[in-house]
Structure 1
Amino acid sequence: MSLRDQIAEDLKNAMRAKDGLKLSTLRLVQAAIKDRDIAARAEDRCQGCGEGEIMALLQKLVKQREESAETYENAGRLDLAERERAEADIVRAYLPKPMCEQEIEQAAETVVDELGATGLKDMGKCMGALKQRYTGRMDFSKAGETVKTLLQSRA
C-alpha cells in the first residue's frame, strides 16, 4: 500500500473512530499532498508527486509543528504546544525510522567515495545524492555537517 493510500485509509478510520485530532491532522496532510500534486501537474508531471516528495512534505510538516510548539511554549501557551506536538507525532508515524548518527556518517562516506569528491566544491553534488537516496530517513543538517567534515579532511 502506498503512503498516499495509507493516509487516506487512516483518515477514514479516524472519521469512524471520531478521533478529531487525527482527523484534522490527516486532512491537513492530504491537503498539502493535493497542493503538491497540483504543482507537479503544472510542471507536466501528470501522475502528481511521488513517494519521495510526499516523504519530504511530511518531514517539513513535522518540522513546522515542532517549531510552532516551541514558539507556543515560549509564549506560555502549553495547551497549544501540546496539540502541535501531538500533530507532529501523528505525521511522524508515516515516516520511516530516522537514521542514527552512525548510519548518516556511513552513508555520507559512501556517497563521497562514489562521487570521488575531493573538496568543499563537491558538497552540493554529495548532498544532492544523499537527498535522492535517503529522503524521509535522514536529518540533512547533520548529514551536511558530516559531509563538510569529510570533504575538509580530504582537501
Structure 2
Amino acid sequence: MSVRDQIQDDTRTAMKQRDRTRVGALRMLGAALKNAEIEAGRPLTEQEEQTILRRQLKQRDESAEAFRNAGRQERAASESAEAEIVRSYLPEPLSQEKLGEIVDTAIDETGATGMRDMGTVMGRAMELSGGRAEGRELSALVRNRLQ
C-alpha cells in the first residue's frame, strides 16, 4: 500500500472519529501528493512521496516557529500537531552512526579526495540513504570527512 493510499484510509478513519486536526493535515498531505502525481504525469515512487512528505514537514515546522515568534501559541501548537502527523508517515531517520557509515561508503565508492568531489559524494550518499536522511545532515558529514 502506497503512502497516498494509507493517507486516504487514515483520512476516512479520522473523519469518522471527528478529529478535525488530523483530517485537515491528512487532506493537505493527500492534496500535495496528488498534485505532485498530476504534475509528474505518472504515479510517484516511494522516494518521491517521502520527499514531498519531508517538504510538508519542513513547512509545518517553519510555520510553527514563525507563529511562536509572533506570539501566536495556539496556531503554533496546531502547526506542531500537524507536523507530528506528517512525521508519522515518514520512515524512522537514520542514526548518526549509520549516516557516518553511508558517507564513508560513498567516499570510498566515488574515490573522493577533496571538497571538489562533494557533489559526487552527496549524490551517492543520498542514493545509499534511500531518502531516509536529511540533505543538510549528510552535507555536514560529507564536508567534515572531505576536509
Fold in common (TM above 0.5): yes
Identity rate, percent: 41
Which structure 2 residues correspond to residues 72-87 of structure 1 after superposition, within 5 A?
72-87=67-82
Which structure 2 residues correspond to residues 5-154 of structure 1 after superposition, within 5 A?
5-41=5-41, 47-152=42-147
Distance in 2, Cα, partners of 1:3 & 1:130: 24
Question: How far did 1:131 drift?
Answer: 2.2
Question: How far did 1:135 drift?
Answer: 4.5
Question: How far did 1:118 drift?
Answer: 1.4
Aligned residues of 1:59 and 1:136 also touching (Cα < 8 A): no
Letter in 1 for 2:140: E
Aligned residues of 2:102 and 2:128 also touching (Cα < 8 A): no
Aligned to 1:88, the other structure's residue is in SS state helix
Distance in 2, Cα, partners of 1:91 & 1:36: 16
Unaligned stretches of 5+ in structure 1? 42-46
Equivalent pairs, count: 147
User: Is the alpha carbon distance of 1:39 and 1:90 closer, same or farther for their aligned partners in structure 2, counting shifts above 3 Å?
Assistant: same
User: Is the alpha carbon distance of 1:136 and 1:19 closer, same or farther for their aligned partners in structure 2, counting shifts above 3 Å?
Assistant: farther
Which deviations, in whole Å up to 9, do the C-alpha atoms of 1:44-76 show, x marking residues without a partner?
xxx322110110111111111111111100100
Question: How far did 1:119 drift?
Answer: 1.6
Which deviations, in whole Å up to 9, do the C-alpha atoms of 1:4-62 show, x marking residues without a partner?
22111111111111111111101100110111111111xxxxx3221101101111111
Distance in 1, Cα, partners of 2:49 & 2:144: 30
Aligned residues of 1:111 and 1:126 also touching (Cα < 8 A): yes
Aligned to 2:132, the other structure's residue is in SS state coil
Distance in 2, Cα, partners of 1:10 & 1:3: 10
Distance in 2, Cα, partners of 1:136 & 1:26: 21
Aligned residues of 1:69 and 1:85 also touching (Cα < 8 A): yes
Distance in 1, Cα, partners of 2:22 & 2:43: 25
Distance in 1, Cα, partners of 2:36 & 2:122: 23
Report the TM-score, using the length of structure 1 for normalisation: 0.89
